Each structure stands twice: as structure tokens, then as C-alpha cells.
Amino acid sequence: MRAKIKALQAQSAPIQPNDQQRKQWQAQVDAYAHAFLEKIGERLCFNETEDLAQGLLDFPIEETAKELTSILEVLEQNVDTPGLDPCSGGHMAYIPGGGLFPAALGDFLAAITNRYAGIFFSNPGAVRMENMLIRWMCDLIGFPQTALGNLTSGGSIANLIAIVTARDAQGIRSKTVEEAVIYLSHQAHHSVQKAIRIAGLNEARLHYLPVDDRFRLDATALEQAIQADRAAGLRPFLVIASAGTTDVGAIDPLAKIARIAQDQNLWLHVDAAYGGFFILTEEIKAQYRGIEQADSVTIDPHKSLFMPYGSGAVLIKNVAALKKTHYYFANYMQDAMLEDREPSPADLSPELTKHFRGLRMWLPLQLYGVQAFRVALSEKIWLCRYFYEEIQKRGFKVGPYPELSVAIYRYVPPGGRAANAFNAQIIQAMRADGRIYLTSTTIDGVYWLRIAVLHYRTHLEEIDLCLQLLEEKVRELLKEDHKKSTSTA
């Protein structure tokens, strides 16, 4: 048997590369990464290609090993070329992500050292680091130091954790689900509805509240709705507000909503996935007043903290409630108990073993300092304000003044031409050009173009290019129109 084991060991040697092999591969990957970064300005922000990563299918996982050179070629052609380039400063669609360079270094180290960040006993440092980051975010929004939460993969899972915790803390059980009421507006992110369903609350009543002319939830309507629902024998238990909606970046009246939620003993969850870190800026700080009164907050470092995708967070004021919903014990875990020194993510989230995602966030924050993030976020706010003014000078209609760094606008063509279709054509033309990537939304049947300024590589130059391209596309579309109408006349 020993001989057989030895033989298997010898055969599996490549899985443990030696120093020289490691350095050679790393140098290749390093060269690839730097070439990629160097070409960010040259690549299209949106690359509409004919073949949609077809080459991957011709490069299947096989029994035999392949060369790194050919592997990287396939990666470049199929993954890093077609579609959206989220690293581009021209990315102003949806909610842009970031991808700070030191965060990649943090990820590299996290994967190399593979520290176990699920349980304090296994790696006190990794867990302490993650808890420090969570407490830092709690501090930013004004939660007490007794609050905690979890570093998640993103805002969707953060919303889910908050909603299941609220459900349990408010005593909603399967028998009472049909009487349970959740308050939100149609501007809430769809991950909220998804989380409600996954949390077993699909049969609960979703009470949608009206919004004002700036798309902010109407707090007076909330108070009346709660009273009416109570009178009808229902069980209001949860309010979901937004601090930066996805459509327009609206901040709901948090202080008013918080007061109502407190008076009525409802759980208040604030979804600040997009907007959360703008609280760092002087421009926005005051508008977040009241967020500290929430019971839970979602905040996405992979949005307004420029981290690579896979970085979200949920902050929960009542850690006992969070633990009650997520804590389980198993005999095979009996050796791993040091828990009262520092809470473990495994006890406060659905995950056990997980990515050590704290390191990718800790490293850039340490290396740059918070001030760098603060000013970069201020820049985004002012870029959006600048765009909002400039786009009007080019004949576009605009939505409400941007509260954060998202604005909506549309071009209404003369001569009664359908504006919705015309704006959809602008989006198509912009995507075909590919240098600046914009998306749209529809609010109450009206098609709006959006701009979301959030990439750390987006500066005045990109905004000016965006304005210039929008102006050009409108001119071209109007000219085409004119040609068509004269040729049919």
C-alpha cells in the first residue's frame, strides 16, 4: 500500500509547483495583468462582438494539462474582450463597480495564505480584521460600537441577511406570514423583493408607498398605511427605505421614517448598497441623518468604495438578533470555541467557510487612507452635478437634481416623434460607439437615460466625452430622420 501511495504522490507532483515554476507562472500572470491595465484607455468600454465568448467552448476542461500561455490567450479573447469593461472610466451604466489595484493584491494574498476567516478560533487576526472593518462602517453611519454585521458577497445577500433577521426578530412565523406587512416603494431595488421571497415571506403583504416628485418615499403615507393596516388586523413589521436608489440616487427621508418605525415598533432596514459611502463626504453627510436610527443597513464596498465585485456588507444594530437567526452548533465544531472574545462571521451569517474578503478591503484602506476615498467620492458628486447642468445646455430634459451621483435625462425630439423610442435609439448608438457605456430606465412609462458616475477612473475628460457623444448621436439621429421624411415626401 505504501508503494501505491508513493506512486500517486509522485504522479500528483505538478499540483505542488516548485519555487521556480511558481515564479514563472506569476510573472506571466503579472505581465498579463499589467498589459490589461495599460490598455484600459484603448479598449472600448462596451465591446459588441459577433462571437460571444465562443472560443471558451473550444477549450474544455480535459484530463491533460495545458500551457499557461494558451490559457491566458483564451482568457483575453473570450473573457476580457467582449461585453462590458467594468474597469473603464467610461462605464457610467447601472451602478459602476471599481476594482482598486491594491484590492487585487489583497485577494492574491488572501488566496495564497488561505486564512480561515469564518471562525475567530481558527484565525483570530482574519476575523478581527473583518470585524474591525464592519465596526468602521458602523461608525461611519453612526451605529453604536455594539453593532456588527457581516461582510457579504454583495448587496443582494446583505439585504437577505437583514430581512431574515428582521423576520425572526419581529416574530413572523409561517403561520403569521399572511398577516405580515412590509413597507417599501417601487424604487426599492429588486434584490429586496427577491430576498423577501427567499426569506419565506412571499405571502406577506408588500405595501407599496407613493414617492414624491424626487422619487423619495412618502413618510406621511407610511404612517397612515401602518395605522390602516393595524386597524385591518394585519401585522406591520418591516420598513425598507433606500439611501441612494438605483434609478435616480434618491435618498428617502430617513429621519422621518426612522421616527415612525420606532414609534410603531417596526424594523427599519436601509438599503444603502449604492450610496452608503457618500456619507464620507461633506456634500452628502447631512442627508443621511437618521440612518443611525435604522435597525439594519446594506452598504456595498464594491460600489461606492471602489472594491472589486464580491464586496458587500450588512450592518445590524442588534447583534443578538443577528446571531439568533444564524447561529448553529455542531459537535464536530466543539473544538472551535473562543467565541466570546470576538464574534465569528460563521455565527452571524449563512456562510461557514468563506472567502477572506476583508483583506481586499483592508489593504487599500490602509494603503490610501480614508481621505483618498472621501475626495474621490466628492469628485463623483460634482461630476454628476456638472453633467446635469451641461446636458440641459444641449437641449435635453432632466429629472430631479441629483442627490448623489446618478442623474436621469432624455431628449424630446421635435415634430411629435415618439420620445421613448428616440431615447432607446440614443442608447443603441452609444453602445455601438462603445467608448462610453450608458443604460436607461423606465419610470411610470417614461423612458429615461441614466448616468451613474461612480468609477474611480471617471473624471472630467470622460464626462466631457460623454456629453460630446450624446450631442453627436442626437444630431445624427435627427439627420437620419430628416432624410427619411424627405425621401418619403
Ligand X SMILES: *Cc1c(COP(=O)(O)O)cnc(C)c1O
Q: Contact positions toward ligand X, by CB under 6 A? A: 95, 154-156, 159, 189, 191, 242, 246, 271, 273-274, 300, 312
**φ/ψ bin of 416: left (φ > 0), alpha (ψ from -120 to 50), beta (otherwise):** left
Task: Give the Cβ contact number of residue 55 at 10 Å.
Answer: 17
Q: Map grid coordinates 474611480 to a residue.
A: 456
Question: Is the distance from CB of 449 to CB of 410 less than 8 angstroms?
Answer: yes
Closest approach of ligand X to the CB of residue 194, in Å: 9
Whichever of 301 and 343 has its CB closer to ligand X, that residue is: 301
Nearest to 325 by CA among 164, 134, 487, 110: 164
Q: Map grid coordinates 461585453 to a residue.
A: 83
Closest approach of ligand X to the CB of residue 274, in Å: 3
Closest approach of ligand X to the CB of residue 397, in Å: 24
Closest approach of ligand X to the CB of residue 335, in Å: 34
Whichever of 78 and 242 has its CB closer to ligand X, that residue is: 242
424 bridge partner residues: none
Whichever of 82 and 308 has its CB closer to ligand X, that residue is: 308
Closest approach of ligand X to the CB of residue 471, in Å: 29
Whichever of 103 and 477 has its CB closer to ligand X, that residue is: 103
Whichever of 278 and 422 has its CB closer to ligand X, that residue is: 278
Whichever of 91 and 235 has its CB closer to ligand X, that residue is: 91
Whichever of 364 and 413 has its CB closer to ligand X, that residue is: 364
Closest approach of ligand X to the CB of residue 406, in Å: 9
* Rounded Cα distance, 265 and 238, in Å: 9
Closest approach of ligand X to the CB of residue 408, in Å: 15
Closest approach of ligand X to the CB of residue 104, in Å: 18
Whichever of 306 and 396 has its CB closer to ligand X, that residue is: 306
Q: Which residue's CB atom is positioned nearest to ligand X?
A: 155
Closest approach of ligand X to the CB of residue 65, in Å: 36
Question: Is the distance from CB of 134 to CB of 315 less than 8 angstroms?
Answer: yes
Whichever of 43 and 194 has its CB closer to ligand X, that residue is: 194
